[in-house]
């Protein structure tokens, strides 16, 4: 294998790693945002939930920014196609994330409009949680492209059954991540509500896993031939079983880790069935964007790899440091973020 091909594959894995990191880390605070009214019935409880994610949410989104930068640097043609073709959906996500960030601060200080900011936080968490999966479903199943690598569909092209199923599945995975995190970080009624919600989401996760399998078998029959995808399925099943056992025994930290492992398994399936594609063309497979026809030059990939090998350990070390500093349960005492 030539150096260029090795670098392309390495960057495919790096991009996948960044998406996994973002899903696991920002997944829990997005999940708590969507579940805010189910987890916190009183203002004091909602304050505890905000404090549970306060030190982390902005750092978690660094993984998304880094992932976008990595896609732009390593696979610029795929970046251009996705960000232009999914423009309206991505603008909805962007505005949702902006209002979500603003609402966290204003909820604590603007008491007159606290209800408004709470709903801004909920909706700002819900839209990205759903639309991320819808976008991923479109990338996997394919979108219409022309010979210039341009998206030729419309916004409604993106709202097909398979992407919507993946979108709902991704939403449930994020909600499970949020509920398991709330059970791990909070005490009292919040913890008990989170455990009840986890039991419901655990069942929904399995149901949607089966539905997604059926849809994938129908739309992408070749995916069933990937041994790595089947291995990732075993990881997911193991994680779900262990999550159920851990939650039943009150081991909330282990339950959160198992929810994160299930998320890792989901991305393992995506990476296995999608490689070497980046964006599939539904109208003609020959027009698909792959790591081979959408990548940067060998020099660019090499320079960026050096930067990544220096920068990523710093990001990981910083994240580990912050999570270590703020480990343990949260309470009403302390500062708002």
pTM for the complete prediction? 0.95
Measured in degrees and rounded to the nearest 5, phi and psi for residue 263 equal -65, -45
Q: Are the beta carbons of 136 and 267 closer than 8 angstroms? A: no
- State residue 315's pLDDT score: 84
Other Cβ atoms within 10 Å of 46 Cβ, number: 19
- State residue 335's pLDDT score: 59
Q: Are the beta carbons of 178 and 28 closer than 8 angstroms? A: yes
Helix (H) or strand (E) holding 279: strand 277-279
The half-sphere exposure of 110 on its side-chain side, counting CA atoms within 13 A, is 12
Q: How far apart are CA 301 and CA 283, in angstroms?
A: 30
- State residue 1's pLDDT score: 64
Domains of the chain: 22-304 (1.20.1630.10)
Using N-to-C axis directions, what is the helix angle for 161-185 and 252-274, rounded to 10°? 160
Q: Which residues of the chain have pLDDT under 50?
A: none
Closest CA to 108 of 47, 30, 59: 47
DSSP one-letter string for 63-120: HHHHHHHHHHHH-HHHHHHHHHHTHHHHHHHHHHHHHHHHHHHHHHH-GGGHHHHHHH
């Amino acid at each position: 294998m030539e150096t260029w091909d090795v670098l392309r594959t390495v960057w495919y894995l790096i991009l996948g790693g960044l998406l996994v990191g973002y899903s696991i880390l920002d997944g829990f605070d997005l999940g708590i945002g969507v579940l805010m009214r189910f987890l916190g019935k009183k203002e004091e409880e909602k304050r505890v939930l905000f404090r549970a994610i306060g030190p982390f949410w902005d750092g978690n989104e660094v993984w998304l920014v880094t992932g976008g930068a990595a896609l732009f640097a390593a696979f610029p043609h795929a970046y251009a196609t996705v960000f232009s073709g999914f423009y309206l959906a991505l603008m909805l996500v962007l505005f949702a994330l902006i209002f979500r960030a603003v609402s966290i601060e204003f909820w604590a200080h603007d008491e007159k409009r606290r209800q408004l900011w709470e709903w801004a936080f909920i909706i700002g968490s819900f839209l990205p949680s759903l639309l991320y999966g819808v976008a991923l479903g479109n990338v996997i199943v394919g979108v219409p492209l022309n010979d210039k690598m341009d998206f030729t569909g419309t916004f409604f092209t993106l709202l097909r059954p398979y992407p919507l199923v993946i979108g709902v599945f991704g939403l449930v995975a994020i909600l499970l991540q949020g509920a398991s995190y709330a059970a791990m970080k909070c005490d009292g009624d919040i913890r008990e509500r989170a455990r009840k919600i986890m039991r419901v989401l655990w069942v929904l996760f399995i149901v949607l896993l089966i539905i997604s399998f059926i849809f994938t078998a129908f739309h992408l029959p070749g995916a069933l031939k990937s041994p790595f995808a089947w291995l990732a399925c075993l990881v997911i099943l193991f994680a779900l079983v262990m999550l159920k056992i851990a939650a039943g025994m009150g081991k909330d930290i282990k339950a959160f880790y198992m929810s994160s492992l299930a998320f890792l398994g989901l991305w393992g399936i995506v990476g296995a069935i999608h490689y070497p594609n980046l964006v599939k063309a539904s109208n003609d497979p020959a027009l698909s964007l792959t790591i081979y026809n959408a990548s940067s030059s060998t020099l660019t990939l090499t320079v960026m790899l050096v930067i990544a090998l220096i920068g990523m350990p710093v990001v990981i070390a910083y994240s580990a440091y912050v999570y270590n500093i703020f480990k343990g349960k949260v309470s009403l005492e302390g500062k708002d973020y």
